[in-house]
């Protein structure tokens, strides 16, 4: 943040724009049609109908000039590609681990790790699940146990590390299930589903000590590790003068196995697994050619591999890694000031609006976060992602397991949106909040059995989208 003369802290862009993509801000009538065609599921929208695409930061962060230019020197080869070795060196240097396995994205790494380490009846204690992680663990017969602290799922909080594992709960899990049934302990950096909330190094150290004492493997999901490191520097006294690179290395040193989605860490499409333990490496190694591709590309294009190597180094640069969290903080603070319920403190990845607080008239069974995502798209063209009960699952009786938090996530991919675009978003959210009683619920009309939030189709429970659009046109006097 940069202080202006009037005392305001503004997230000034620490980069200049050199390649741009034209956006479309279409009339509200076309957006009504688009969301209807997309089954009131923002995953099913086309970008031609979207103004600000805040669905995710996954594969949508802006690449740097150095990343793009590195793609020209890619060494196309099925095996032994020099591009791969450049990426391997970058991973060794940035994550500090020797053995590297490539995967085509984060969930591919989760597939391989779960296949090797999760047996039926196992439990996996974690600070919080991620959708694809849980699906892979469950497919292999394991169960995810979330052992977060009291503040983790409170919407409004000033706790600096809501992503911490509750140490007492961790000890209880180990004594209740026994060491042999704990496949591994999983820590997720900048814990995605609770609002991009970091854990502290002090907490990780305690978790590591317990894991070591019992001989349990500590697995780090490093998809948002750079941001977690940045929060440690901001919020953990001991590290306020440390370099991001050193914080990152210290986090990695404590984990036995690290996996990541490169779509998030570096803006390129890919992923991987790193470890210093040869036994772990050997157990996983032979599944890579089976599911991903040969060991020196793992399902990624060599161009992406080159850009990933450069992006890994950039992740340790504070001016790069701080951009997204600063814009998120600005948006969160502005919404909070306006009395709009939003997850605090601001975390990584995006701004997370509390849909139950925003739409108290929509019961959780009618998917308030999904309804809010549709409503915001209709009135602004901004696409967010439902992170609530639609992203959850049903129990054995077919009843929805209601999510702990009902969130609309508005992602701020790194260095993509400007301050005036952020101001546009905030203006439209404020208008929607003032007109929130017009938003109604949704119901499923087509529901896939696994990861239903991706392809599921919904319908509004009344003609609320049309009424909302009519009010928008009346207030703005136009349809943009
Ligand atoms: N772990 C975390 C913490 C993630 O956020 C993601 C993806 C994955 C694993 C899976 O990685 O997409 O490369 O297969 N998160 C994206 C998101 C999809 O929008 O939050 P992937």
* Residues 237 and 113 placed together within one structural domain of the fold: yes
Selecting among 387, 409, 415, 452, the annotated active-site residue is 387
Of the candidates 184, 231, 453, 472, the residue annotated as catalytic is: 453
Quick one: what percent of the chain has pLDDT higher than 70?
100
Of 264, 303, 329, 428, the catalytic one is 264
Confidence (pLDDT) at 478: 84
Kindly state whether residues 28 and 81 are assigned to the same domain.
Answer: no
Q: Is residue 335 predicted with pLDDT exceeding 90? A: yes
Task: Please state the rounded mean pLDDT for residues 360-379.
Answer: 98
> Do residues 92 and 163 both lie within one domain?
yes
What's 286's domain CATH number?
A: 3.40.640.10
Same domain, 339 and 255: no
Tokens 């499409």 belong to 269
Give the model's confidence band at 479: pLDDT under 50 very low, under 70 low, under 90 confident, else very high: confident
CA of 58 to the centre of ligand 1 (A): 7
pLDDT at residue 267 greater than cutoff 90: no
For tokens 């309804």, the residue is: 371
* 387 flagged as catalytic: yes
Active site residue 51: no
**Is-catalytic flag, 317?**
no
Same domain, 204 and 305: yes
Quick: pLDDT tens for 125-134: 999 999 999 9
161 and 262 in a common domain: yes
Structure tokens at 146: 């979330």
Helix, strand, coil percent values for the chain (each to nearest 5):
45, 15, 40
pLDDT digits (tens, 9 = 90+) for 105-115: 999 999 999 99
- CB-based contact 137:114 (threshold 8 Å): yes
What lines the ligand 1 site, CB under 6 Å?
56, 58, 105-107, 130, 132-133, 188, 192, 221, 223, 261, 263-264, 271
Q: Considering 293, 316, 339, which residue would you say is the last residue of a domain? A: 316
pLDDT tens digits for range 34-85: 999 999 999 999 999 999 999 999 999 999 999 999 999 999 999 999 999 9
For position 401, which CATH number holds? 3.90.1150.10
As a whole-number percent, the residues of the chain with pLDDT over 90 amount to: 99
Domain boundary among the residues 272, 287, 316 is at 316
Give the per-residue pLDDT at 83: 97
Q: Burial letters for 218-242: b for 16+ Cβ neighbours within 10 Å, e otherwise?
A: bbbbbbbbbbbbbbbbeebeebeeb
pLDDT of residue 480: 86
State how many domains the chain has.
2
Kindly state whether residues 296 and 362 are assigned to the same domain: no
Parent domain of 29:
2-57+320-476
Backbone angles phi, psi at 383, to 5 degrees: -100, 120
Claim to verify: residue 308 and residue 190 sit in the same structural domain: yes
Do residues 425 and 299 both lie within one domain?
no
Verify that 226 and 262 share a domain, yes or no.
Answer: yes
Distance 109 CA to ligand 1 centre (A): 11
SS (H, E, C) 320-344: HHCHHHHHHHHHHHHHHHCCCCECC
Do 31 and 173 belong together in one domain?
no
At 136-147, the pLDDT tens digits run: 999 999 999 999
Virtual torsion, Cα 237, 327, 107, 189, nearest 10 deg: 10
Structure token digits, residue 245: 């690179």
Average pLDDT score over residue span 360-374: 98
> Using CA atoms, how far apart are residues 101 and 80, in angstroms rounded to an integer?
13
- pLDDT (tens digit per residue) in 202-214: 999 999 999 999 9
Is the pLDDT at 474 greater than 90? The verdict is: yes
């Amino acid at each position: 943040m940069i202080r202006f003369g009037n005392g305001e802290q503004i997230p000034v862009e620490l980069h200049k724009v050199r390649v741009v993509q034209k956006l479309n801000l279409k009339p509200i009538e076309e957006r009504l049609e688009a969301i209807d065609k997309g089954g009131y599921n923002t995953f099913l929208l086309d970008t031609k109908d979207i103004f600000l695409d805040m669905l995710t930061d996954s594969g949508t962060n802006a690449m740097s000039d150095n990343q793009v230019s590195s793609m020209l020197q890619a060494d196309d080869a099925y095996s032994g590609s020099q591009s791969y070795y450049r990426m391997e060196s970058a991973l060794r240097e940035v994550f500090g681990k020797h053995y590297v396995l490539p995967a085509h994205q984060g969930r591919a790494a989760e597939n391989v790790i779960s296949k090797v380490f999760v047996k039926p009846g196992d439990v996996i204690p974690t600070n919080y699940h991620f959708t694809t992680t849980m699906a892979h663990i469950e497919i292999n017969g394991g169960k995810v146990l979330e052992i977060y602290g009291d503040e983790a799922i409170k919407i409004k909080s000033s706790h600096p590390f809501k992503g911490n594992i509750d140490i007492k709960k961790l000890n209880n899990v180990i004594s209740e299930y026994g060491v042999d049934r704990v496949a591994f302990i999983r820590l997720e950096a900048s814990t995605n589903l609770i609002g991009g909330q970091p854990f502290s190094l002090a907490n990780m150290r305690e978790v590591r000590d317990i894991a070591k004492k019992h001989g349990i493997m500590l697995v780090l999901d490093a998809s948002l590790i750079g941001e977690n490191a940045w929060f440690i520097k901001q919020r953990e006294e001991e590290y306020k003068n440390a370099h991001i690179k050193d914080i990152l290395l210290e986090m990695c040193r404590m984990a036995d196995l690290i996996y990541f989605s490169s779509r998030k860490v570096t803006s390129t499409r890919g992923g991987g697994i790193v470890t210093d333990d040869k036994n772990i490496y050997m157990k996983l190694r032979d599944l890579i050619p089976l599911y991903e591709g040969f060991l020196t590309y793992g399902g990624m294009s060599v161009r992406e591999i080159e850009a990933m190597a450069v992006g890994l180094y950039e992740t340790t640069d504070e001016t790069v890694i701080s951009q997204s969290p600063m814009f998120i903080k600005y948006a969160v603070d502005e919404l909070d000031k306006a009395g709009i319920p939003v997850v605090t403190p601001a975390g990584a990845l995006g701004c997370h609006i509390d849909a139950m607080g925003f739409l108290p008239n929509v019961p959780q069974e009618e998917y308030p976060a999904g309804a809010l995502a549709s409503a915001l798209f209709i009135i602004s063209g901004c696409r967010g992602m439902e992170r609530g009960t639609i992203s959850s699952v049903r129990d054995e009786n077919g009843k929805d397991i209601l999510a702990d938090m009902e969130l609309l996530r508005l992602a701020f991919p790194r260095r993509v949106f400007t301050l005036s675009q952020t101001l546009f978003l905030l203006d439209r959210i404020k208008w929607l909040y003032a007109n929130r009683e017009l938003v109604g619920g949704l119901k499923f009309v087509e529901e896939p059995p696994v990861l239903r939030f991706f392809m599921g189709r919904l319908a509004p429970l009344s003609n609320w989208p049309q009424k909302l659009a009519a009010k928008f046109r009346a207030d703005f006097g136009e349809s943009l």
